A and B are shown apart, each in its own frame.
Chain A
Amino acid sequence: MNKLKKYLGIVWLCLAPAIIYFLIKGATANIDLAGKKDINNPVIWIIIIGIFTPIAIGLMIFGWYAWKNEFEKPPTNSAKNNVS
């Protein structure tokens, strides 16, 4: 199980840039100043890409932690995460 957790970390690491790539591709294909739908609106795309980029980076960090065996033991106690 720990090996699976570790190697899936690579999948999460790769998935994040793929999400950003598809979002940017979606934006360039659908932004249309003359269009009336939400998906034609550049402001919405800027908001979505702006908010999704840090989330995707978070997914990469999650993948990196998994690769580094940080999730070997699943969390069972909030005291273990107490960082004092």
Chain B
Amino acid sequence: MAAAPHLIHPETLDHKRYFFDKLGLTERLLERCLGEALSAGGEFADLYFEAVTSTSLGMDEGIVKTASQGISVGCGVRVLSGERTGFAYTDDLSAERLLKAARTAALIANGPQVERVQGFVEAKTASLYPVAGMGGDAEIAEKLRLIERANKAARDFDPRIVQVRAGINDELRRILIAASDGTFASDTQPLARFNVFVIAKDEHNTARGTSGGGGRVGLDFFAGDKSPEHFAREAARTAILQLGAIAAPAGEMEVVLGPGWPGVLLHEAVGHGLEADFNRKKTSAFAGLIGQKVASSKVTVVDNGKMPGRRGSLNVDDEGNATQETVLIENGILRGYLSDKLSSRLMGMPNTGSGRRESYQAIPMPRMTNTYMLNGEDEPGDIIKSVKRGLYAVNFGGGQVDITNGKFVFSASEAYLIEDGIVTAPVKGATLVGNGPEALKYVSMVGNDLALDEGIGTCGKAGQSVPVGVGMPTVKLDRMTVGGTGR
């Protein structure tokens, strides 16, 4: 193996130092591991080191009942040979164990060594989020103050609020990626999420309300308008509202989706279907549709991993590539897929920096970051006024899609009837169902009030969960099926 030139910047923001200083890695060891990984003829190999510290604090029934902390450290070794992937991981970062994992992953290929390890070239990375909080006891004390404030605000909102749980979960993920093609990248990724759960009860009914938010942010994020009181009142308001909700209607009707989190529609209806792996394998209902009309001409959808502080944002993806803004649908025309190293190589398409993985124990694949629809020209008020009889859905639980036939669902948790252009009674939760390549063709109005969600989304694919963001302006769909029990 040729000695690699030293192109690792000692002066850049030192995300990598943790791995070199604290965990004892050396450039020489990374090269040895990659050399071992390529020893059976693999074309590409990468090492993904990860160290995560997570903390969870929760107040329940007025008592701080939950305090937990977790530490996870490990390395995943991947070897590519054509369409084949060999993978092994270890939670012991000794040279012996790392080399053993590399040898195990190497066996996906079957022949003499053909590729050599290139000298590492460290790319300059963006700085989309703060690196560390205040740490230690001061940070814990501050978090306790925040959840105590939420607990109080929810209880003060209405005497019918009988149960309150408030909590804050955060983690600091350090990653270092070194690959045989010379890729060398490291990052430190904070992630915080505030959660409030309440139960409201009156003489007839019981209802739940949830709220939460955060992002790749420090605790100062919760000092502004996204305060503990904001999340607490939101949870309490929804629960009280649900006490008086009537049955949701059933059948096809006009549907207006509010701004923000209802963007989960895009995530399910088109986002997953545009991940390159499904299209390379032609298992997606969107396969072969690039350049074709898949939505109304008012619809432009992007995936953007570069938004400062957002839950879905990343300075680099989990393969060491810079994230970017990728146009998925432009004025209704399908423009592109989300790709990682493997799919861009096999499909001859640009790499969009979308390779993500849940942890060092999982193989990367193309994933979304923050996915949203751009603003249109309609006033939200005019959109509501245009509906004779329909549903106005402003908040959702979650969604799901069958990539192959394109059918998707998303479940509304806060919705209202629209009657003769006026928002009237709140309705109970209902699932909305549609067909991905068709649903957005019925978008007839797009508002000018684009908003992103509060920072609560977690996306699951092939058993791997990653944090994501979604968003959109107020949107009217002329036709969608609403799964209630009423008329």
A and B from one complex: no
User: Which B residues lie at the A interface, using CB under 8 A?
Assistant: none
Q: Point out residues on A near B: beta carbons under 8 Å.
A: none
